[in-house]
């Protein structure tokens, strides 16, 4: 009699991520890891709460959190055993670590405060079994750098909403409105259409304020004939969009035409020639050399781009000091800029996905086409 094979249920994104993490632990000779950083915690478990620790061994996954989040954690992290804890790690880590058994525990050195580390040490000192606490850096972040299909879907939604908000503000904005009013209108538009919130505080820089890359919107009014730098991003299911456009009401002057076309040329050069396998340093140089050759190198003082996902600035980086490689499945911004104190700035930014060895531009919001005027 013939038998019918039954396909095993497909693994969830969380289960696949845990498999990759456990392989990393084995590579580094660790039995287990403590995860406390919010985006790492969400990536590995699905839990959105603002307080909690993950204790992940070769075969166990525990989420420890306090009373406020126990029910939420059970709903959002079904692949984890949820444990309610009270107080700092000195009150619960020893018990849980002893129950789980591993002796070599990694912890996220860059995200664990000195006070919390001391609590962990105190807990270990009271244990009957010998446990080592070993600092780690970048284990989870290296996994997060390569996006899976569920992540790309969320990013795509965030970016599409951000694109729509830019189109809206381009027709809504008028002389006399303040930077603060423009920023609020963008937030209102995105929230009313499903954004979890803002990926970061919206930047609106009119005229000379645009020469400060991270200017906070104030009461400066929108005026005709000056550059208006808008940097914004929606958040969808936790994933962040990041897009900058430099707009102008009225007729551009010669300085705006020259600077805008130069920045746009640098951005397009990078997007068209960025390849998987390049270092972040090499990717940064693709845009930077265009601006440097035009004599504006000292007016472009930040990196060409950065990774984007659950956190607005994550690895990899397109920057002069980043030697890590850019690989397929990574999402990075491409955002060269030129900033002239007293006049203003121009920055143009897209999010791109490395796929098939090349950069695919996900951001679709329109850019100015001054050469066609």
Residue 6 lies in a domain: no
pLDDT, tens only, 45-77: 999 999 999 999 999 999 999 999 999 999 999
Assess whether 120 and 243 both reside in one domain: no
Q: Is there a single domain that holds both residue 64 and residue 204?
A: no
From 126, 144, 162, the end of a domain falls on 144
The per-residue pLDDT for range 270-311, each reduced to its tens digit, is: 999 999 999 999 999 999 999 999 999 999 999 999 999 999
Residue 7 within any structural domain of the chain: no
Q: What are phi and psi of 146, to 5 degrees?
A: -100, 120
Average pLDDT over residues 107-117: 95
Angle at which helices 13-27 and 38-45 cross, to 10°:
120
Residue 2 banded pLDDT, cuts 50, 70, 90 = very low
Same domain, 66 and 157: no
Split at pLDDT 50, 70, 90, the class of 10 is confident
Same domain flag for 127 and 172 = no
Q: How many domains does the chain have?
A: 2
pLDDT band for position 8 (cuts 50, 70, 90): low
In a domain, 253, yes or no: yes
- Model pLDDT for residues 150-163, shown as the tens digit of each residue: 999 999 999 999 99
Does position 373 have pLDDT exceeding 90, yes or no? no
Predicted confidence at residue 7, as pLDDT, reads 60
Residues 135 and 154 reside in one and the same domain: no
Instruction: Give the domain-ending residue among 119, 144, 169.
Output: 144
Q: 175: how many CB neighbours lie within 10 A of its CB?
A: 11
Q: Does residue 215 share a domain with residue 98?
A: no
Mean of pLDDT over the chain: 95
Q: Are residues 113 and 207 both part of a single domain?
A: no
Digit-coded pLDDT (tens) for 78-108: 999 999 999 989 999 999 999 999 899 999 9
Per the structure, the complete domain to which residue 109 belongs is given by: 13-144
Query: What CA–CA distance (Å, rounded) separates 277 from 258?
Result: 33
Residue 255 lies in a domain: yes
pLDDT cut 70: percent of the chain above it: 97
Query: Strands 132-136 and 104-108: what pairing?
Result: parallel
CATH of the domain at 55: 3.40.350.10
Last residue within a domain, chosen from 124, 144, 164? 144
């Amino acid at each position: 009699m013939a038998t019918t094979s039954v396909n095993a249920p497909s693994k969830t994104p969380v289960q696949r991520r845990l498999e990759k993490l456990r392989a990393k632990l084995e590579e580094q000779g660790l039995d287990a890891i403590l995860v406390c950083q919010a985006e790492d915690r969400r990536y590995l478990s699905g839990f959105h709460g603002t307080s909690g620790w993950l204790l992940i061994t070769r075969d166990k996954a525990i989420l420890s959190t306090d009373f406020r989040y126990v029910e939420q954690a059970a709903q959002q992290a079904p692949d984890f055993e949820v444990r309610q804890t009270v107080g700092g790690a000195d009150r619960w880590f020893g018990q849980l670590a002893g129950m789980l058994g591993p002796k070599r525990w990694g912890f996220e050195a860059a995200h664990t405060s000195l006070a919390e580390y001391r609590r962990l040490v105190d807990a270990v000192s009271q244990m009957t079994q010998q446990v080592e606490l070993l600092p780690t850096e970048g284990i989870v972040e290296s996994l997060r750098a390569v996006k899976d299909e569920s992540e790309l879907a969320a990013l795509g939604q965030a970016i599409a909403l951000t694109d729509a908000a830019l189109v809206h503000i381009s027709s809504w904005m008028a002389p006399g409105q303040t930077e603060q009013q423009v920023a609020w209108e963008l937030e209102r538009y995105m929230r009313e259409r499903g954004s979890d919130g803002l990926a970061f505080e919206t930047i609106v820089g009119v005229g000379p304020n645009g020469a400060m890359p991270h200017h906070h919107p104030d009461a400066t009014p929108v005026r005709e004939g000056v550059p208006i730098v808008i940097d914004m991003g929606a958040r969808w299911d936790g994933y962040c969009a990041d897009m900058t456009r430099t707009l102008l009401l009225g007729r551009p002057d010669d300085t705006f035409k020259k600077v805008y076309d130069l920045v746009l040329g640098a951005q397009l050069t990078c997007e068209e020639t960025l390849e998987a396998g390049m270092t972040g340093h090499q990717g940064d140089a693709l845009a930077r050399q265009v601006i440097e050759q035009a004599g504006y190198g000292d007016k472009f003082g930040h990196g060409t781009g950065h990774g984007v996902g659950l956190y607005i600035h994550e690895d990899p980086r397109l920057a002069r000091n980043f030697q890590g490689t850019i690989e397929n499945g990574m999402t990075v911004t491409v955002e060269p800029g030129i900033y002239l104190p007293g006049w203003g700035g121009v920055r143009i930014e897209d999010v791109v996905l490395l796929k098939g060895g090349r950069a695919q531009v996900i951001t679709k919001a329109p850019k100015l086409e001054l050469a066609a005027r």
